[in-house]
A and B are shown apart, each in its own frame.
Chain A
Amino acid sequence: MKRDLPASAVRTGAVGAALPHDSAHLHVAGAATYIDDIPELAGTLHIAVGMSTVARGRLVAMQLDRVRAAAGVVAVLGHADIPGEKCIGPVKHDEPVFAIDRVEYIGQPLFAVVATSLEAARRAARLAQVTYEEEPPILDYDDAIRANSHVLPPLTLVTGDAKAAIAAAPYRLSNRLLMGGQEQFYLEGQIAYACPREDGQMLVYSSTQHPTETQFTVAHVLGVAPSQVVVECRRMGGAFGGKETQAAYFAAVAALAAAKLKRAVKFRADRDDDFMLTGKRHEFRADYEVGFDASGRILGLEMTLASRCGWSADLSGSVNDRAVMHVSNAYHLANVTIRSLRLKTNQQSANAFRGFGGPQGILAGEHVIDDIARHLKLDPLAVRKANFYSADPSSPRAMTHYGMRVEDNVILELVTELEASSEYARRRAAVDQWNAREPLIKRGLALTPVMFGISFTASFLNQAGALLHVYHDGSVMINHAATEMGQGVYTKVAQVVAEEFGLQVRQVRITATDTSKVPNTSPTAASSGADLNGKAAQAAAREIKARLAAFCASTHGFDAATVEFRDGRVMAGAWERPWEEVVRAAYMARVSLSSTGFYSVPKVGFDPATLKGRPFYYFAYGAAVSEVAIDILTGESRLLRVDVLHDVGRSLNPAIDRGQVEGGFVQGMGWLTSEELVWDAHGRLRTHAPSTYKIPVSSDVPEAFKVSLWERGENVEDSIFRSKAVGEPPLMLASSVFLAIRDAVAAARGGVPALDAPATPERILLACSAGPAA
């Protein structure tokens, strides 16, 4: 895949170095400032919200006198106190900030208590007496379908003739897979700190992936122009999609109180409240019928992908679209019909979570493949290979079911390399031998690929801006649209700037994302942060370089095109000067040393009504082999070994990229194993804290965790230094854990196991206990 790169993509310095995270030295010292660590202004007040205890019904009356009278309470705010828009939401404005006349989930905010301490606010919020006229909640898929309860109307993607292809196929099967949701469980809970400024302006420190949307939401709720509002975010203590839309709520309520009371107000959600208030990964149900041939090649597929979207639309449209597009994963589907049901249920509003529908689509697709293999008694890996997209872009088998031609397919090459390095064939035989011998502990093995589309499917979001200052002593400040949530985007963008100027990364000061520095930002999501903002920062740097080169050229009489910036020096032929000296001279000559940069992703365009077009600029590829064991007496499982080969293109920072691959994998593993969200029959979430909701710990991760970045990886598109996005794709490598568990269950009972996700001990035991199926 390696080829000669255009000069614009050649790097000589900071880019590609395994530098530590820019804040690592602060993290370990407890010196990195999160929002709750900002010294509070005098008189700062705190917020807790009162929440609905009923999942669906009419709000009859709220008796709040005891709340108002409680110690420390300064104000109690409800929908009547909102001067601007009473409903918010990223696409449809269908979420009342405070319930108006109906409640739609247990946890829905009814009112906010503003008090002198967080404890006082929390205590007071519990004193409300609320009367409801209860209605039976809609929680289940079938209940929602029967009630015609949708957050967005059903949508169907059709390519070819699935029905006819299935009817004509030599083999057919149908099945259902349930996939649970997942709480983001960012370690830093949702938080915003609103500080009123003069003349009706508002500064909000928000732990947000989307400062612009947060800014606009605050402005809409306050009824002021967005130019009155500044949102700043230096870093988040994790986000994973959970702070893409949900952060705006906390900012809006804090700002509402701050505007009303003319005091600084902080809204930090207690962990349990955070679980109860905010959305999670969508739960999905996939029902499908597939027709295939003797090699396992899919001839036709009909699938209904239903998701429980919760009480409001949020980003459920885009999430479900991505699920529909990723059912194919790395496989060609010639005849396919996928029906997408975005069901409205009386639960927290499901929202963005790393992968954004991709994981559910990919797992559904992989489940189809696994079914076919078990039906035909073939190794699932052989069936996967039989279905891969063609590596030849001109082949009809390189066309996705959503009408995008795959021009960068490396999946067979990558899988073949992993198959060899992980010794898949030999271990397959060893696992089978073990299972023939051992009655209680069964092992399972699975190799699964990932092919993940990179770009926002809402094409307009594929843009970014940057602001670059060079101060006249030569020091550099970069600001851009991306937010830092641990993924290292600040570090990567600083590396790009350092590379462009030929400086050390430590000479580049990274500053907090701020809507008054770079406007109209897209969310830091869809794995796009470094791709978009690296390019925007590069554009800004190149603008300044061009000015400096022109200045040097005019001063010294050589061609500006010959000027290079390297090793802290500016040079042209035999002439060279230290960077600082050139900058200083340019300043004295009144050359502008500040520039914005802008980037817009080329080629993409997508019609969300038909789900057809080119939604993605390129694909990221990877594959993983997982070996697991299950205990058939208890259903408990253990991951024993993982081998990962992942394509990050030409890595901007291999240490950060490896961290994303490992962390994404483990997060995906949690989704598919121990992380179980349980709502009771009333619609109350019963798993709302780490005591009851179990994300992976160190012992869940095997010592044999072999992660390699694919050395031959390179982006065929003109991405930033030919790197590839890495935030989300690795999460889906964990499909291998789920399918390895399914493999072990199959060893315990034969046939095609009925195992839903997450594969908790209970589900595994149940799947083992059921008699062999067809």
Chain B
Amino acid sequence: MFPQNKQLYTKLIMSDPCMKFLLNGEPVSVTDLPPTLSLLQYLRQNCALPGTKEGCAEGDCGACTVTVADIDADGRIRHRAVNACIQFMPALHGKAVTTVEGVAVGGVPHPVQQAMVDCHASQCGFCTPGFVMSLYADFRAHAPREVTRQEVDSLLAGNLCRCTGYRPIADAARQALAVPRSPAESARDEAHEKALRTLARGCGELVLDGAAGKWFTPKTEASLARCLAAHPDARIIAGLTDVGLWATKQLRTFPKLVLVSEIDSLHRVAASGGRLDIGAAVTWSEAMPHLLRHWPEMQEHLLRFASPPVRNSATVGGNVANGSPIGDSMPAFIALGAEVVLRSLSGERTMPLEAFYLAYQQTARADGEYVAAIRVPLPARSQRFRVYKVSKRFDQDISALCAGFMVKVERGVVVEARIAFGGMAATPKRATRAEQALLGRTLDEAAMQVAQEALDGDFQPISDMRSSAAYRRQVARNLVKRFFLEVAPAGEHATALRLADLEVLP
């Protein structure tokens, strides 16, 4: 990558010095691109397209939502809502971006826009373009379809509105998504897709080497491995949902960035040999159906994991490699006995995921290595598994704590127990004392109590703005109870276990 190795890559695959993408259907070439220039800044400052708004510059409010279309590893075009504020421009090389200015068809408001007007779904209007684009992304991918309010809630979990109270927006969503696509819109979409395929065919590995920093988008793992061998100090990026805000909020600079999300082999999800391998660059939106096929117990958790625009960008590998103590995937993965697959020029190694985390934001990844996949053992029949997240807000919040529980019960006794918590220590961490306490026991009230007591010795949580240490301790104990109630109901006869499943009393 970057100057000295450029020759090497151009032998293997075409490399581009200039970033190219489609903007509202029109091809755009960008030269002299600072690698961390955000799509939002570019739209507003360079293109005089101010419809896309900045509300928070950290991917939490959705005012900057645009749609991005690209071609997946199987050659299909996928349309996704993403947060433009934390997307670095070079990450959009070879893709198609649609903004709120580009959704009307021939000057006629799009059904999504019209429904928002008809339902009185805008007040101050500042969040409105983001809502329009979240809905447009869904319309583009799925319309026409009937959606429930719950589906609308999930779809819009990444868009904040401070004025309306959401009811009219939900009405507009349900109305608009049921509208059949017009012939004019279909024709436009076809033309755009054709242009996207043409563009993508002509796009190779992007290499930027400017005063503001260097950027490399490898297209193969071999290329990536060589690059990391030569530049072990390069920052590996994928969905940019965390690193993006290191730039916008912490004003950090990145001399070398390597984007791994354009490598097809890192996008594979495969179940074989008793395990599910999830490529590191698979987004959470893409991983969800695979995970739910094998672990339907994760349904609520995955819907509460970030928000659609974030899940559409954020990758499984990124969440794991980032090593945040409050990442929401690790407690579940560790409880399930997942391994992390690390590769480099010198080969591949795997390790239990819990062993990957050494200290606060410190992992066992060596220089030159990258996270290639997460390997999760497929469920055994004797296995009972749950994952719980506790936060101030149901949707799109960071956990106060998060817990994964898995026990294997054979002939009535626990033969294996894996319990992992996030938010309770400086890393995602197993509750080894509690696990030990369960071994050889039947899942009864007494076992629950010894596990709860043992758990107190497993963690020394901290107090912060999300919750106090005392609360974390108490809830950790209570989640043990919840797990027992859900997988081995006895004692108290609760028919209602989770708020999310409740209905209004008749």
Binding site for B on A (CB under 8 A): 18, 20-21, 23-34, 36-37, 39, 119, 122-123, 126, 184-189, 235-240, 270-272, 427, 430-431, 434, 437-441, 443, 485-488, 627, 629-631, 633-638, 640-641, 655-656, 658-659, 662-667, 674, 676, 678, 686-687, 689-692, 694-705, 707, 760-762, 765-766, 769
For A704, give the chain B residue with the smallest CB separation. B504
Which of A431, A634, A659, A696 interacts with B120 by CB under 8 Å?
Answer: A659
* Distance, CA A489 to CA B135, complexed state (A): 28
User: Contact at A690–B465, with CB atoms within 8 Å?
Assistant: no
Residues of A with C-beta under 8 A to B67: none
Is the C-beta of B393 less than 8 angstroms from some C-beta in chain A? yes
Q: Which residues of A contact B101 (CB under 8 A)?
A: 29-31
With A30-B100, A692-B465 as contacts: A636 and B126 at CB distance below 8 Å: no
**Nearest Cβ distance between residue B213 and chain A, in whole angstroms?**
14
| B466-506 interface code vs A (CB 8 A; 1 in, 0 out) | 11100100110011011001000000111111111011111
Given contacts A240-B162, A439-B493, A761-B391, 7 further A-B contacts (CB under 8 A): A25-B117, A28-B112, A271-B55, A441-B494, A486-B163, A689-B60, A760-B392
Q: Chain B nearest CB: distance from A6 CB in Å?
A: 31
Please give, as numbers and ranges, the residues of chain A lying within 8 Å of B391 by CB-CB distance: 694, 761
> Are A187 and B51 interface neighbours, CB within 8 A?
no
Chain A residues positioned under 8 Å from B7 (CB to CB):
none
As a 0/1 sequence over residues 57 to 73 of chain B, the CB contacts with chain A under 8 angstroms (1 = contact) are 11011010000000000
B504 near A640 (CB under 8 angstroms)? yes
Let me know if A440 and B485 touch, CB within 8 A.
yes
The answer to whether A640 and B502 touch (CB under 8 A), given A486-B124, A488-B123, A703-B149, is yes
| Cα A439 to Cα B466 with chains together (Å) | 27
CA distance A81 to B10 in the complex (A): 56
Contact B249 A636 (CB under 8 A): no
Chain A CB within 10 Å — which of B168, B400, B465 has the most?
A: B465
Indicate if the CB atoms of A697 and B393 lie closer than 8 Å. yes
Q: Is the CB of A627 within 8 A of B499?
A: no
Docked pose: A32 CA to B129 CA in angstroms: 10
Q: A699-B395, A704-B504 are in contact. Are A186 and B124 (CB under 8 A)?
A: yes
Partner of A695, one of B99, B116, B153, B160: B160
Nearest 5 A-B pairs (CB), nearest first? A30-B51, A486-B124, A237-B126, A27-B125, A666-B165
Distance in Å from the Cβ of B305 to the closest Cβ of chain A? 14
Q: Are B51 and A29 in contact (CB under 8 A)?
A: yes
Q: Which B residue sits closest to A655, measured CB to CB?
A: B120
A187 touches B53 (CB 8 A): yes
Distance, CA A697 to CA B397, complexed state (A): 10
Q: Closest CB-CB distance, A607 to chain B, in whole Å?
A: 36
- Expressed in whole angstroms, the Cα–Cα distance for A530 and B389 within the complex equals 45
- A655: which B residues are within 8 A, CB to CB? 120
B128 on interface, CB distance cutoff 8 Å: yes
Show 8 residue pairs from A and B whose CB-CB distance is below 8 angstroms, ordered by the A residue. Answer: A486-B163, A633-B482, A634-B390, A634-B475, A655-B120, A686-B464, A690-B60, A698-B156
Contact A641 B395 (CB under 8 A): no
Q: Once bound together, how far apart are the Cα atoms of A661 and B321, in whole Å?
A: 45
Most buried by A among B112, B397, B499: B499
Bound form: Cα–Cα A328–B18 in Å: 67
Contact (Cβ within 8 A) B163 A235: no
Asked if A238 and B390 sit within 8 Å, CB to CB, the answer is: no
What is the minimal beta-carbon distance from A686 to any residue of chain B, in angstroms?
A: 4
Tell me which residues across on chain A come within 8 A of B392, comparing CB atoms.
674, 676, 694, 760-761
| Cβ of B180 under 8 Å from chain A | no
Taking CB atoms, residues of chain B closer than 8 Å to A29 are 51, 100-101, 104, 109, 113
A674 touches B393 (CB 8 A): yes
B370–chain A nearest beta-carbon distance, Å: 27
**B157 interface contact, C-beta 8 A:** yes
Find out whether the CB atom of A698 lies under 8 angstroms from the CB atom of B170: yes
Digit string of B418-457 for contact with A (CB within 8 Å is 1, else 0)?
0000000000000000000000000000000000000000
Give the distance in Å from the alpha carbon of A438 to the alpha carbon of B471 in the complex.
23
A487 touches B123 (CB 8 A): yes
Kindly state whether residue B8 has any CB partner on chain A within 8 Å: no
Known: A441-B494, A694-B397. A687 touches B60 (CB 8 A): no
Cα–Cα distance between A440 and B491 once the two chains are bound (Å): 12
Give Cα distance in the complex from A687 to B394, angstroms.
Answer: 17
Report the minimal beta-carbon distance from A588 to chain B, rounded to whole angstroms. Answer: 38
| Any A CB within 8 A of the CB of B184 | no
**Chain B hits for A689, CB < 8 A:** 56, 58, 60, 249
A692 B466 Cβ-Cβ under 8 A = yes
A629, B494: Cα distance in complex, Å: 14
Chain B residues within 8 Å of A636, by CB: 390, 394, 499
> In the bound complex, how far is the Cα of B153 from the Cα of A705, in angstroms?
14
B118, B123, B125, B475: residue with the most chain A Cβ atoms closer than 10 Å = B125
Interface residues contributed by chain B, number (CB under 8 Å): 94
Cross-interface CB contact of A27 among B55, B57, B60, B122, cutoff 8 Å: B122
Q: With a CB–CB cut-off of 8 A, which chain A residues contact B57?
A: 270-271
B116–A28 CB distance below 8 A: yes
Q: Are A440 and B156 in contact (CB under 8 A)?
A: no
Answer yes or no: B396 CB below 8 A from chain A CBs.
yes
In the assembled complex, which residues on chain A have CB atoms less than 8 Å from the CB atom of B157?
697-699
- Across the interface, which residues of A come within 8 angstroms of B109, CB to CB? 25, 28-29
Q: Whole-angstrom distance between the alpha carbons of A629 and B116 in the complex?
A: 31
- Closest-CB distance, A443 to chain B (whole angstroms): 7
Q: Are B60 and A691 in contact (CB under 8 A)?
A: yes
- Chain B residue with the shortest CB-CB distance to A763: B471
**In the complex, are the beta carbons of A30 and B99 less than 8 A apart?**
yes
Assembly CA distance A687 to B467 (angstroms): 12
Interface contact A486-B390, CB-CB below 8 Å = no
Q: Are A698 and B153 in contact (CB under 8 A)?
A: yes
B471 to chain A, nearest CB (A): 4
Whether A39 lies near B149 (C-beta < 8 A) is: no
Does A666 contact B471, Cβ atoms closer than 8 Å?
no
Q: Which residue of A235, A427, A638, A762 is within 8 Å of B499 (Cβ)?
A: A638
How many whole Å from B123's CB to the nearest CB in chain A? 4
Q: Closest A residue to B154 by CB, please name it.
A: A699
Q: Within 8 Å CB of B63, what residues of A? A: 187
B505 touches A431 (CB 8 A): yes
Residue numbers in A under 8 Å from B481 (CB-CB): 633
Known: A236-B124, A762-B467. Is A440-B505 also a contact (CB below 8 A)? no
> Contacting B124 at CB < 8 Å: which of A235, A270, A629?
A235
Let me know if B47 is at the binding interface, CB within 8 A.
no
B152 interfacial contact with A, CB 8 Å? yes
- Determine if B166 and A666 form an interchain contact, defined as CB atoms under 8 angstroms apart: yes
Question: Counting chain A CB atoms within 10 Å of each CB, which of B127, B154, B398, B481 scores highest?
Answer: B127
In the complex, what residues of B have CB within 8 A of residue A270's CB? Answer: 57, 249
Q: In the complex, how many angstroms separate the beta carbon of A428 from the nearest chain B beta carbon?
A: 10
User: What is the bound-complex CA distance between A488 and B168, given in angstroms?
Assistant: 15
Which of B125, B162, B499 is the one whose CB lies under 8 Å from A23? B125
Which residue of the partner chain A has the closest CB to B250? A126
Q: Which residue of B lies closest to A637 (CB)?
A: B499
Residues B32-85 near A (CB distance < 8 A): 44, 48-58, 60-61, 63
Q: Once the chains bind, are A238 and B474 in contact (CB under 8 Å)?
A: no
B397: chain A residues within 8 A (beta carbon): 694
B167 at the interface (CB under 8 A from A): yes
Contact indicator B100/A663 (Cβ below 8 Å): no
Instruction: Please measure, in the bound complex, the distance between the C-alpha atom of A238 and the C-alpha atom of B56, giving whole angstroms.
Output: 14
Residue B169 contacts which of A427, A633, A698, A705 (CB distance < 8 angstroms)? A698
Complex: A704 Cα to B167 Cα, angstroms: 10
Name the B residues within 8 Å of A694 (CB-CB).
Answer: 391-393, 397
A486 proximity list for chain B (CB < 8 A): 122-126, 163
Check B162 against A695 for contact (C-beta < 8 Å).
Answer: yes
Alpha-carbon distance A690/B112, docked complex (angstroms): 26
Residue among A24, A39, A434, A488 with the highest chain B CB neighbour number at 10 A: A24
**Bound complex: CA A659 to CA B162 (Å):** 11
Q: Of B100, B123, B396, B474, which one neighbours A769 at CB under 8 angstroms?
A: B474
Tell me which of A272, A697, A707, A766 contacts B160 (CB under 8 A): A697
Q: Which residue of B lies closest to A658 (CB)?
A: B120
